[in-house]
Amino acid sequence: MAAIRPKEFLMIPGPTPVPDEILEIHGRQPLGHRSTEFSGQVELAVQGLKWLGETESDPLILTASGTGAMDAAVANTINRGDRVLSLVCGVFGERFAKIAEAYGASVERLTVEAGQAIDIESVKKALAADTGKEIKAVTVTHNETSTGVINDLESIARVVKAHGALILVDAVTSLGAAHLPIDKWKLDVVIAGSQKALMLPPGLAVIYFGKEAWKAYDQCNNGRFYLDLKRYKTSQDKNTTPFTPNVSLVMTLVKSLEMMKEEGREAIQKRHIEMRTMLREALIEMGLKPVVEEGNASPTITSVWPPEGVSVADIRARLKGDYAIIVADGQEDLKGKIFRIGHMGYVFPRDIGMTINALATIFKSLKPVTRS
């Protein structure tokens, strides 16, 4: 017989905790997707997403992972042979570059070391070197999930738009948590995923597609059907979807946007910054070193180097075993080297306090070990 255990708490960078009001909707019988009731939900979701992104861009709702929307961002704007500049500060920046390559683009990478933010001066230099204005698009990660860096997207976008290229933004772990006014910053394409700051289970992605992006679409000749964004635009303009969507997640999206509107965009952003600061200060006080320096630290993910002689695996196992708190390992080159604490969406300073307390207790008891 299983003992009574605390409820598992996901402090990973997605999936994130889901509010009970949303789980309740997720647990209902699905609506028919061609019903007037469901069309009403599509309309509300689109309105809410425009409010959230402060934009008149089309927020197209895809039944897909966030990577599906990243793929669609490329597949609908970039042709084989087009030049793309990819700003890479971690795993997801690299993924965007790989997607562009998968579509045959000629990709130039501007890569910084893990934990660093994109350097604006290098971006300026790379674009200035493109005297023939051949670079068609720049891919950039707003908030790099693998390290917990938030990039200065406003400044990057200013430079890119001044050059005349498209800017394609991965905002999977920032939209709904960090300041991101799409129209004010002139972002052409912005993508997000349901299982992050939107407080939903995974399975839905959003891609904001702006006027300049639609111009590129008209010149785009990639083979595509399911991710052909015009199909979504045409259907959504009539409050419907081109294919059977994940109706449950669309309905939960309406609810989460309603909850977010009630809290307010600025209040949500402030809460995330407060959690970041609270967590960083406590970690530093414990003698730990965050991977990212203060000025570039993400409001949604904090990466930490483990104490000397203590393994990431042990920290994660103790947090899970003793406290039912789940944090993430590093990814790829950083696997086993750092651990990552997600604090986005339905997470509050109270929960950060819980995690800090658990970590402090664990570190006191964990004896440094030498590992070969």
User: What residues make contact with a copy of itself under the rule CB under 8 A?
Assistant: 7-8, 10, 12, 14-15, 17-18, 23-24, 26-35, 63-68, 70-72, 74-75, 80, 98-99, 102-104, 193, 195, 201-204, 222-228, 242-249, 326, 328-329
Omega before residue 6 within 30° of 0, cis:
no
Cβ proximity to a copy of itself: between 26 and 158 the closer is 26
Q: Which residues pair with 192 in a beta bridge?
A: 206
Cβ proximity to a copy of itself: between 67 and 277 the closer is 67
DSSP per-residue codes, 207-240: EEE-HHHHHHHHT-----STT-HHHHHHHHTTT-
* d(C-alpha 16, C-alpha 328), whole Å: 12
> How far is CA 237 from each of CA 43, 46, 232, 234, 240, rounded to the nearest angstrom?
9, 10, 8, 5, 7
Tokens matching residue 63: 């039944």
Cβ proximity to a copy of itself: between 67 and 155 the closer is 67
Cβ proximity to a copy of itself: between 33 and 161 the closer is 33
Tokens matching residue 337: 């080297």
Nearest approach, Cβ of residue 145 and a copy of itself (Å): 10
* d(C-alpha 306, C-alpha 340), whole Å: 10
Give which of 121, 180, 182 is closest to 298, Cα–Cα.
180
* d(C-alpha 52, C-alpha 181), whole Å: 8
Tell me, what amino acid is at 178? A
Nearest approach, Cβ of residue 202 and a copy of itself (Å): 5
> How far is CA 346 from each of CA 59, 136, 263, 310, 313, rounded to the nearest angstrom?
22, 37, 12, 30, 26
Nearest approach, Cβ of residue 242 and a copy of itself (Å): 8
Nearest approach, Cβ of residue 159 and a copy of itself (Å): 27
Please answer whether residues 242 and 225 qualify as being in contact, where contact means their C-beta atoms are separated by less than 8 angstroms: no
Cβ proximity to a copy of itself: between 72 and 344 the closer is 72
* d(C-alpha 233, C-alpha 325), whole Å: 40
Nearest approach, Cβ of residue 298 and a copy of itself (Å): 18
**Residues whose CB falls within 8 Å of the CB of residue 2, separated by 6 or more in sequence, listed in order:** none
Cβ proximity to a copy of itself: between 210 and 245 the closer is 245
Cβ proximity to a copy of itself: between 17 and 90 the closer is 17
In this structure, the strands spanning 289-290 and 301-305 are: antiparallel
Cβ proximity to a copy of itself: between 185 and 209 the closer is 209
Place of tokens 């990709």: 107
Cβ proximity to a copy of itself: between 105 and 159 the closer is 105
Nearest approach, Cβ of residue 176 and a copy of itself (Å): 16
Please answer whether residues 212 and 161 qualify as being in contact, where contact means their C-beta atoms are separated by less than 8 angstroms: no
* d(C-alpha 95, C-alpha 184), whole Å: 26
Please answer whether residues 196 and 344 qualify as being in contact, where contact means their C-beta atoms are separated by less than 8 angstroms: yes
Nearest approach, Cβ of residue 162 and a copy of itself (Å): 29
Nearest approach, Cβ of residue 65 and a copy of itself (Å): 4
Cβ proximity to a copy of itself: between 137 and 227 the closer is 227
* d(C-alpha 284, C-alpha 287), whole Å: 5
Cα–chain-centroid distance for residue 201?
14
Nearest approach, Cβ of residue 247 and a copy of itself (Å): 6
Nearest approach, Cβ of residue 296 and a copy of itself (Å): 24
